[in-house]
A and B are shown apart, each in its own frame.
Chain A
Amino acid sequence: MRLGLVLSEVGQGLRRNLSMVVSVVLVTFISLTFVGTAILLQSQITQMKTYWFDRAQVAVYFCTDFTTAGSCDQQAATDDQIAAVEAQLQSATLAPFIDAYYFEDQELAFQNFQDQFAGNAIASLVTPELMTEAFWVNLVDPEQSQILSDALAGLAGVESVVDQRSYLDQIFAILNASSLTAVGIAALMLVAAALLIATTIRLSAFSRRRELGIMRLVGASNRFIQTPFVLEGVVAALLGSLLAGGAVIAIVHFFVQGYLTQTLPGTSFVTVNDALIVAPVLLVAGGLLAAIASNVAISRYLRV
């Protein structure tokens, strides 16, 4: 009986305020889509970080006839110098930190370069003499590359010790920035959504102020008075959240799985399963946001 009455009040309120309700639906839809995208982007970044950082190597580059950096003086590293570095890598101090290493001589480097830039004009300009020889080292703990560069950077014939993660860091910094931007936009949109919900509920309460006045006069409980309004906000926000959940799933299904995975095979991307976890989070977030916003908005009509 009371439930029916409350629900009919909700329906009335939604119909009476249709245009405002539509705008609430749209704003929650957009803002929660941003929230969902930001969450997925974060999990994508984490996934890629674990994948790439595990594979990141430390390169010990040797001098060539053309380099002047480090301790080089346009003099290629001698075999003795290379052997000295290898001895260091096998020494008791460094060995425990090293998982594996291999030597890339000019021929091998040239081969890799040709593979990497196949079809590119630069491939035909490069000769093996131009290539840099290097030790490629896999560390037990990729975080500890500093030890290697401390031990080897000053040795004769070594041009530089480079941790590949420093390149990755730049990429991840860009990805992180875009994910933070999405979070920022999402936060702003959520504020807008909360204010819009509050305004809508206030408008709805204003258009029903006669009923509210009589309800208070005859002793309707506060909970009874506020429930229809809170539900009104929650229903509108849930509609928006459903759309946002659908949009996030669609983005993952059609864009990430359908396009990115085809274009960039070999990289692991977030899956529809991840999106299916995010969607309920959005629903709960939307519902909570609306419940709190409408509760605050309606409370002024309940002051005794």
Chain B
Amino acid sequence: MIRFDEVTKVYRGNARPALNAVDLEILAGEFVFLVGASGSGKSSFLRLVLKEERPTSGQIHVLGQDLGRISSRKVPYFRRNLGVVFQDFRLLPNKTVFDNVAFTLQVIGKSKGFIHEAVPDALATVGLDGKGGRFPHELSGGEQQRVAIARAVVNKPSILLADEPTGNLDPATSDGIMTLLQRINANGTTVVMATHDVGIVDRLQRRVVELVGGRIVRDERGGSYTQAVPLVREQSFGPAEVTP
């Protein structure tokens, strides 16, 4: 579904790579947490999957397509298979909830009939029945994020990318969002979520990929935020030391 082969990303004017020789394969239907400190490369990873950036070296395959070979004219059509959710929701403030979700379908040329079926469906999926006429500023943070998720999944994408979707939400609201994401995953959508939220990662016990300084230091199925398997770190004064 998503495969990174020796992918390195160096941003201009920055000697240290954001991603350093990353090898990773994510299979269809998986739910993967990307964890790591700020600047560890989580967002760069997601941007590379979206083809918002091109890697400095290495190859990326998403949905069986080599991203290096997609012409920029075809990129929009490629992105229609991906849904994206952000920490800051990114809703259009002057459009209603319904229109925010419908906008996605309008701009890729779906028919009015399709939109009037798909949008209420998506809103029902995220638990926002009957709130289609509201404006984003009339909703709570959790509800706004649900709108954003509805917008991301309304076109039934194969992959949902979430960049710290619970970063702005309180724990109880976050739980609701996670339940929703798990339900979407259970329906067959591959979910890749970058997060800092220790509680969520520990509770869900899904595959965890940990990035440190652009390198994958841990890739564990059923893992938690802090590593269960001891991690070997090089120390300046000794050959190696086992950290708990």
Contacts and interface: CB of A to CB of B under 8 A. Distances in A.
A216 interface: yes
Contacts of A2: 106, 109
A288 interface: no
Interface stretch (A74-82, A106-114, A219-227): A219-227
B103 A214 contact: yes
Contacts of B72: 303-304
B107 A217 contact: no
A218 B79 contact: yes
Nearest to B107: A220
A177 interface: no
Interface in B151-181: 151, 155
B80 interface: yes
Nearest to B83: A218
A225 B108 CA distance: 10
A2 B107 CA distance: 8
- Determine the main DSSP class of A at the interface with B: helix
A219 B77 contact: yes
Contact of A304 (B75, B80, B82, B107): B75
B135 interface: no
Nearest to A224: B107
Given A219-B78, A219-B80, A222-B73, A214 B109 contact: no
Interface in A214-241: 214-222, 224-225
Contacts of A219: 76-80, 82, 108
Interface of B: 50-52, 72-73, 75-80, 82, 84, 90, 92, 103-104, 106-109, 111-112, 151, 155
17 contacts: A2-B109, A5-B106, A210-B90, A210-B92, A217-B79, A218-B103, A218-B151, A218-B155, A219-B79, A219-B82, A219-B108, A221-B76, A221-B77, A222-B76, A224-B107, A304-B51, A304-B75
